[in-house]
Amino acid sequence: MSAKSRTALKCRTALAIKLAVALGIAVPSLVAAGSASAQTPVRSVNAGTNKPDAERPFKVTPVATFSSPWAIAVLPDGRLLITEKPGRLYLVTQQGTRHEVRGVPKVLYGGQNGLLDMAISPRFATDRTVYFTYVEPTSGGGGLVLARARLAGSETSLRLADLTTLWRQGPAGSGGQPGGIIAFSPDGQHLFLTVGDRMRPETAQNPDLPLGKVLRLNLDGSTPADNPNASAGGVRAETWSEGHRNPYGLAFAPDGRLWLHEMGPRGGDELNLILPGRNYGWPIVSNGDNYDGTPIPDHDTRPEFAAPAVYWTPVIAPAGLVFYEGRMFPEWRGSALIGGLAATALVRVTVDADGSGREVNRWDLGNRIRDVAVTPDGAVWLIEDSEDGRLLRLTPGKS
Q: Where are the beta strands (DSSP E) in 153-256?
A: 159-168, 179-184, 190-195, 213-218, 239-242, 246-252
What pLDDT is stored for residue 398 in this prediction? 85
Contact criterion met (CB below 8 Å) for 132 and 180:
no
Q: How many domains does the chain have?
A: 1
How confident is the model over 316-360, as pLDDT tens digits? 999 999 999 999 999 999 999 999 999 999 999 999 999 999 999
Continuous H helices in the chain? 3-22, 124-127, 234-238
Distance CA 390, CA 58 (A): 17
pTM of the model: 0.91
pLDDT at 20: 42
Q: What is the CATH number of the domain that holds 313?
A: 2.120.10.30
**Quick one: how far is CA 147 from the chain centroid?**
17
Cα 253 to its chain centre, rounded Å, is 14
pLDDT in single tens digits along all 399 residues of the chain: 444 444 444 444 444 444 443 333 333 444 333 333 444 456 899 999 999 999 999 999 999 999 999 999 999 999 999 999 999 999 999 999 999 999 999 999 999 999 999 999 999 999 999 999 999 999 888 999 999 999 999 988 999 999 999 999 998 888 899 999 999 999 999 999 999 999 999 999 999 999 999 999 999 999 999 999 999 999 999 999 999 999 999 999 999 999 999 999 999 999 999 999 999 999 999 999 999 999 999 999 999 999 999 999 999 999 999 999 999 999 999 999 999 999 999 999 999 999 999 999 999 999 999 999 999 999 999 999 999 999 999 999 987
Full residue range of the structural domain in which residue 103 is found = 3-396
Which of 311, 267, 314 shows the shortest CA–CA distance to 289?
267
Q: Give the single-character DSSP code of 222.
A: P
Q: Supply the DSSP string of 76-143, one letter for each residue.
A: TTS-EEEEETTTEEEEE-TTS-EEEEB-PPP---BTTBSEEEEEE-TTHHHH-EEEEEEEEEETTEEE
